[in-house]
Amino acid sequence: MFRFSVPDHAEDFENDTVPEEVNHEEMGVSFAAWLARSPETLLDNEDEKRAWERDMWWMRNFYPNIQMIANDLHEKGLLPAGEYSIDIDW
């Protein structure tokens, strides 16, 4: 269970990018970098048969701090202030 409040303090990641390799040990990018990159942008050395790796890379390596997303949605009027929880089933 992941619990968070909106709005709340958020620590943004410092990285503007991470290696374009699924499951690389370096993970997490700044909110600005995440917003600036299109999910359609091909990874280095990507070919049509391995396009699924791009989705995995976005989910496992190229992501911002969840609180940054929550605060942004709140500022845009899309997420009311309050207490939230996400039930994550791995």
Q: What is the pTM of this model?
A: 0.87
Q: Label residue 52 exposed, middle or buried (CB < 10 Å: 0-12, 13-18, 19+).
A: exposed
Average pLDDT over residues 38-63: 88
Residue type, 64: P
pLDDT of residue 51: 82
Q: Binning pLDDT at 50, 70 and 90, where does residue 71 land?
A: very high
Q: Reply yes or no on whether the pLDDT at 65 is more than 80.
A: yes
| Number of structural domains found in the chain | 1
pLDDT of residue 46: 81
Q: Are 8 and 1 in contact (CB under 8 A)?
A: no
pLDDT one-digit tens code per residue, 26-37: 999 999 999 999
Collapse the DSSP code of 86 into the 3-class scheme (helix H, G, I; strand E, B; otherwise coil) and give the result.
strand
Enclosing domain of residue 10: 2-86
